[in-house]
Amino acid sequence: MSSNESLANLLKEERRFAPPEELAAAANVTAEAYEQAAADRLEFWAAQADRLTWSTKPTETLDWSNPPFAKWFADGKLNVTYNCVDRHVEAGHGDRVALHFEGEPGDARTITYAQLKDEVSRAANALTELGVTAGDRVAIYLPMIPEAVIAMLACARIGAPHSVVFGGFSADALATRIGDADARVVITADGGYRRGKPSALKPAVDEALTKPGTEGVRSVLVVRRTGQETAWAEGRDVWWHDLVPRQSDQHTPQAFDAEHPLFILYTSGTTGKPKGILHTTGGYLTQASYTHHAVFDLKPETDVFWCTADIGWVTGHSYIVYGPLSNGATQVLYEGTPDSPHQGRWWEIIQKYGVTILYTAPTAIRTYMKWGEDIPAKFDLSSLRLLGSVGEPINPEAWVWYRKHIGADRTPIVDTWWQTETGAMMISPLPGLTTTKPGSAQTPLPGIAATVIDDEGNEVPNGSGGYLVLTEPWPSMLRTIWGDDQRYLDTYWSRFENRYFAGDGAKKDEDGDIWLLGRVDDVMLVSGHNISTTEVESALVSHPKVAEAAVVGASDPTTGQAIAAFVILRGSATEDENLVEELRTHVAKQLGPIAKPKRILPVAELPKTRSGKIMRRLLRDVAENRQLGDVTTLTDSTVMDLIQSKLPAAPSED
């Protein structure tokens, strides 16, 4: 199978969706943005920085004198939290709702911008009372409750970089992250609600703090969420409700340098210790704010925005906290799982709050596909006007389903490609401009330079595939890996000279639009042919009986690697030998005989991270009968036991 043929297969349906006229007519961003950015990229970003309120306006845009260590807006000063909260109150929008919080048990809280300002000010004063000063690191290990947002903003307000750790991570994972950042304070909760039950968090903090490397932690600030019994370390632990409410609601935000560290966020990477991705202040906020305004076409007076990401994922940082709040958005914040207490919970929330823009991940969309379209059909989703996707390549089938069953065949979909490292969106359609193609992230945003290159570093022609690279620095780029400049150079800047290597495979179609093909580590080599896991997964999901698929290359004595597929079947489908054969034939028909999976194993669940990415490395371990690697970042570690217990003997060759 040549890459051109398989791309033609991906594209074969020729489905194209022009922007709705009404949206296009009133869109925040017009074609002019691409022209301006193309004419003068730095001037373009300087203009976007003007969207923010600076206490000292920058006169420099980019300092790239010591690549790849960038400085953006280096002589400017600003306070991120002032930009996300205070300035909206000062502009007379104090009564606008900032957060509609929906707890999993059904409790709800509405927080206006004025209330958010008071809460954040109190929390900032509380952190100061605990001895936190600018530059000190604070670890945040919280469920999806308003205090998570408040804690992040309080840290940013006093210049204390936060390191948010997923509430689902183990004590070990938490300890490594606390240790690497040398955090002074941990902010946590007794627990949070997940799947209808309180799930404890504090015990993991207690255990983490017994581990070497975490000695720098002086205080643990604990939010009472579930009321469950909680062990207490006197002198170290402080209840949020004892400390924060008694603080003054007045706090003067101090201005920090544009390059002052804003946060560290750890990405697990495939090997070795997690990488602490460092983001700074002015450039990060400029791009988070601009992309949220441009890609979601946000109208702060009328839109209700909902990003379903966890706060512990970069998507929660940039598109729950910094992007939307800097734009004065009204948002939904939901604590729990999509099926608690019923499988229509999300759609019920959209109906309840009149959500207009929904941003979620392909894994969630495929889960809803599996549950069936009759579930969203029971709710009034007519408020929706725009849908977004992030986290993984979205297969055309899921894209079309999303548009049809959630977006009433009316709403545009923006498939946004970016990474923890890029800080904000990089490649995405613009909803008022782009004629979209299901499955493609399409074009670099204005001011972003991305392309696809081959092994030798040459740009590939349209219609071919290779490696995705970013060819110019961008404002929200990571500045380094915390404490490890060399690793920053080695990981991102050594594979190709002067270009940032994203680690993703991609193709350009005949129009030059970009299609993401998954991590290059996941690419399979079968009898000398490179085959992307994304393409085979897409082919499997295009079969009506398959809801979700994960594909890996397992070493094989004859073909080098052989394709092993793990599939989740749709609601009514039952597994049998015939179905497995049918699926293998289906893939061969779609992509060519070389892509025919050698083994297909129906499973109930797939191993995923909290951001919904399939952990193919674990599936490779299973397919190659190896001991499982690190499972600490899995949402549910029992999934792997289930999969392993089902593994049949390899089928005979054919």
Residues 250-279 that bind ligand 6R9 (CB under 6 A): 267
Is 527 labelled a binding residue? yes
Q: Judged by CB under 6 A, which of 58, 191, 393, 444 binds ligand 6R9?
A: 393
Q: Judged by CB under 6 A, which of 79, 112, 286, 420 binds ligand 6R9?
A: 420
419 lies in the binding site for ligand 6R9 (CB under 6 A): yes
Helix axes 616-623, 638-646, angle to 10 degrees: 30
416 lies in the binding site for ligand 6R9 (CB under 6 A): yes
Q: How far is the CB of 359 from ligand 6R9 (least distance, A)?
A: 11
Q: Which span (154-162, 223-231, 369-377, 502-510) binds ligand 6R9, by CB under 6 A?
A: 502-510
Contact indicator for 457, 54 with CB cutoff of 8 Å:
no
Is 117 labelled a binding residue? no
Q: Judged by CB under 6 A, which of 191, 391, 439, 444 binds ligand 6R9?
A: 391
Q: If you write DSSP's letter for every residue of 286-327 in order, what string do you get?
A: HHHHHHHHHHS---TTT-EEEE---TTSHHHIIIIIIHHHHT
Nearest Cα neighbor of 72 from 215, 259, 233, 307 is 259
What's the rounded Cα separation, in Å, for the pair 473 and 262?
A: 19
Phi, psi dihedrals of residue 263, rounded to the nearest 5°: -155, 160
What's the rounded Cα separation, in Å, for the pair 281 and 259?
A: 6
The contact pattern for ligand 6R9, residues 608-647, with x = CB under 6 A and - = no contact, is ---x------------------------------------
Q: Which is nearer to ligand 6R9, 152 or 390 (CB)?
A: 390
| DSSP-derived pairing of the beta strands 500-508 and 514-519 | antiparallel
Is 197 labelled a binding residue? yes
Q: Judged by CB under 6 A, which of 149, 152, 321, 516 binds ligand 6R9?
A: 516
**C-alpha pair distances (Å), 167 with each of 148, 214, 615:** 11, 18, 18
399 lies in the binding site for ligand 6R9 (CB under 6 A): no
3-state secondary structure 591-628: HCHHHCCCEEEECCCCCEECCCCECHHHHHHHHCCCCC
| DSSP-derived pairing of the beta strands 304-307 and 357-360 | parallel
What's the rounded Cα separation, in Å, for the pair 447 and 425?
A: 11
Is 417 labelled a binding residue? yes
120 lies in the binding site for ligand 6R9 (CB under 6 A): no
For 57-107, strand residue ranges (E) read 62-63, 71-72, 77-78, 97-102
Q: How many C-beta neighbours within 10 Å does residue 203 have?
A: 15
495 lies in the binding site for ligand 6R9 (CB under 6 A): no
Helix axes 577-591, 3-11, angle to 10 degrees: 110
6 lies in the binding site for ligand 6R9 (CB under 6 A): no
Q: Which span (153-161, 194-202, 296-304, 418-426) binds ligand 6R9, by CB under 6 A?
A: 418-426
Contact indicator for 394, 365 with CB cutoff of 8 Å:
yes
502 lies in the binding site for ligand 6R9 (CB under 6 A): yes
The residue count for binding ligand 6R9 (CB under 6 A) is 22
Q: Judged by CB under 6 A, which of 138, 142, 156, 390 binds ligand 6R9?
A: 390
Q: Which is nearer to ligand 6R9, 81 or 360 (CB)?
A: 360
Residues 434-493 that bind ligand 6R9 (CB under 6 A): 441
Q: Judged by CB under 6 A, which of 504, 513, 537, 556 binds ligand 6R9?
A: 504
Q: Which is nearer to ligand 6R9, 390 or 563 (CB)?
A: 390
Is 610 labelled a binding residue? no
What's the rounded Cα separation, in Å, for the pair 83 and 116?
A: 13
Q: Which is nearer to ligand 6R9, 367 or 538 (CB)?
A: 538
Phi-psi region of 131 (alpha: psi -120 to 50; beta: other; left: phi over 0): left
Is 157 labelled a binding residue? no
Q: Which is nearer to ligand 6R9, 54 or 399 (CB)?
A: 399
Is 195 labelled a binding residue? yes
Q: How many C-beta neighbours within 10 Å does residue 38 have?
A: 12
Q: How many CA atoms lie within 13 A of 277 on its CB side?
A: 22
What's the rounded Cα separation, in Å, for the pair 515 and 533?
A: 13
Is 505 labelled a binding residue? no
Q: Which is nearer to ligand 6R9, 181 or 390 (CB)?
A: 390
315 lies in the binding site for ligand 6R9 (CB under 6 A): yes
H/E element, 109: strand 108-112
Q: Judged by CB under 6 A, which of 194, 385, 519, 608 binds ligand 6R9?
A: 519
- Tell me the binding residues for ATP: 391-393, 415-420, 504, 519
Q: Write out the binding residues for CoA.
A: 194-197, 315, 527
Chain residues that interact with ligand 6R9, rule: CB under 6 A: 267, 313-315, 389-393, 415-420, 441, 502-504, 516, 519, 611
- Binding residues for Mg(2+), as ranges, are 541, 543, 546
